[in-house]
Amino acid sequence: MSPFQSINAYENFIYTLKENYPSIQSSTLLVLHRGKCTAVVQGELIFKEGYRIVIKERLSFDTGLVTIESYGYEFWKNNEKIAWYDSQPYPFDLELKDTDPHHKHIPPNIRHHRVPASNMHFDRPNLPSLIQEIESIS
């Protein structure tokens, strides 16, 4: 069953991440309902060597299926933010056109250096891709 089939399925997906990804040392992720058809996922996934992902997703499920309305995913190594993904549109940045609004901020000049993020979506979970990315660098 796809995690996006229902909010209950997505909650189960979130709360079993540590069981399904042994690289996760701990999780503080919570699914917080904000109304009849909306929820927020927020918290952190902690990995070895000081790596962590700070996660915030705004979800809607008014049709029954889950959709990510917006997100922010920050990659940290100890106390240093090393990259982040967000869904803020940049319609005038032609380099991001193919994946708009999905993009990643990377060094140098992490605030202003954005690259396309073809691995991010609104209609399926992004967390497996993020976890694999952390696993590849840790």
pTM of the model: 0.94
Rounded-to-integer distance, Cα 9 and Cα 7, Å: 5
What are 68-107's pLDDT values in tens digits?
999 999 999 999 999 999 999 988 888 899 999 999 999 9
